[in-house]
Amino acid sequence: MDSKKRLGKGLDDISHLFLSGSAATPAFNRMNPPARKFGQAVNLRTKVWLTLSLVPRLPSAFFTANLAVELARCGRQVLVIETAPLPALDKVFGTAQIQPSLNDLLEQSQKQIVLDGPMGMKILSFRLCPDELRGFALEEQQILFQILRQEEEKAEQILIHAVYEENPSFEKWVGLGQGVILSVDLNADTILQTYRVCKYLYRLQPGLRIGLLGFGKQDKEEWAACMNKLSDAVTRFLGKTLEWYGVIPEDPLIERSIAAKVPLALLDQTAQTSVGFSIAARNLQQETGMAPIRSAAATSFFDWLHRAADIVEGQ
């Protein structure tokens, strides 16, 4: 299908097809209680977070989805973006029909750019891929990025789900983020691997804010010992300071949640795992004295993504 027919000649011609609002996709209808707020500050300096997981036995999107639910439950306006091959977030948010690509979305009659998620969050309705965006004509890119920036401006926090891989594609996402939330099953056998991942991330982006979200069965003393050992190594050898957002305990409900394609934070808010994500959401928003990579107000995530596309195109 001709792209000009899909995009029209300008933003005014097509905004009614894309922008979230009156024609939005129906929201989740399962276990969606009203959001409760804590605190009043919304101008968080760290707005764009890359969410990664080193826990092999769970889908990495499990952590992204549940953390997004708890951030939204706290009253934050959250935008969740998928970059991993599907199924990923759509496997956890069962009713979110995320399209494999922007081109797939444009072939649909319903071209809503974001989907309504639980607790009022928004989910980008297609898998975001910089290489695909570069395939559009320059005037079409301008239209698309203007639409995406408008959605970004409505968000207070952006969670970008990605799969950890040491390759050029993954490195681009690290370069576009302000912080990384790294879920780990931290124990004596995985400390070295976690350290190496942190070292790799800091090498790609020295000013990155990295925080760990623990997962596992180990007791508090063992967990504390592992945290101290890893923190000391990162401080001593890398000159950095890790942040810690909490521990997500294992729970039989996790399997039920994944099978039902409903975030556990919605399935049972009182479960230990849900409480762990709730605590992590609060800790995540405790801004430290660390400066972000860039001012989110001065340059948006999609501006940086657009610039990166222009740089590659011009080479």
Average pLDDT over residues 71-75: 95
- Is-cis flag, bond preceding 87, omega within 30? yes
Mean per-residue pLDDT over the chain, rounded: 84
Task: Give the distance, in angstroms, between the CA of residue 15 and the centroid of all CA atoms in the same chain.
Answer: 25
Average pLDDT over residues 172-195: 94
Q: Where is average pLDDT lowest: 169-173, 200-204, 221-225?
A: 221-225
Return the higher-pLDDT residue of 313 and 45. Answer: 45
User: Do the strands 243-249 and 122-124 form a parallel or antiparallel pair, or are they unpaired?
Assistant: unpaired
- Residue 209: its pLDDT value, please? 94
Buried b (16+ CB within 10 A) or exposed e, 135-156: ebeeebbebbbebbebbbeebb
Task: Give the distance, in angstroms, between the CA of residue 110 and the centroid of all CA atoms in the same chain.
Answer: 24
- Name the band, by pLDDT with cuts 50, 70 and 90, for residue 190: very high
Task: Give the distance, in angstroms, between the CA of residue 97 and the centroid of all CA atoms in the same chain.
Answer: 17
- Name the band, by pLDDT with cuts 50, 70 and 90, for residue 34: very low
pLDDT at 96 over 50: yes
Which amino acid, 254?
A: I
Percent of the chain topping pLDDT 70: 79
pLDDT at 291 over 50: no
Contact 173, 304 (CB under 8 A): no
CB atoms within 10 A of CB 88: 22
Average pLDDT over residues 117-126: 96
- Residue 1: its pLDDT value, please? 46
What CA–CA distances, in Å, run from 181 to 24, 58, 209, 252, 284?
A: 29, 16, 9, 24, 9
- Residue 12: its pLDDT value, please? 56
pTM of the model: 0.85
pLDDT at 204 over 60: yes
What CA–CA distances, in Å, run from 291 to 45, 53, 295?
A: 8, 24, 9
Average pLDDT over residues 111-120: 94
Percent of the chain topping pLDDT 90: 65
- Residue 18: its pLDDT value, please? 60
- Name the band, by pLDDT with cuts 50, 70 and 90, for residue 286: confident
**Paired strand residues for 244:** 212
User: Do the strands 179-184 and 209-216 form a parallel or antiparallel pair, or are they unpaired?
Assistant: parallel
Distance between CA 188 and CA 223 in Å, rounded?
9
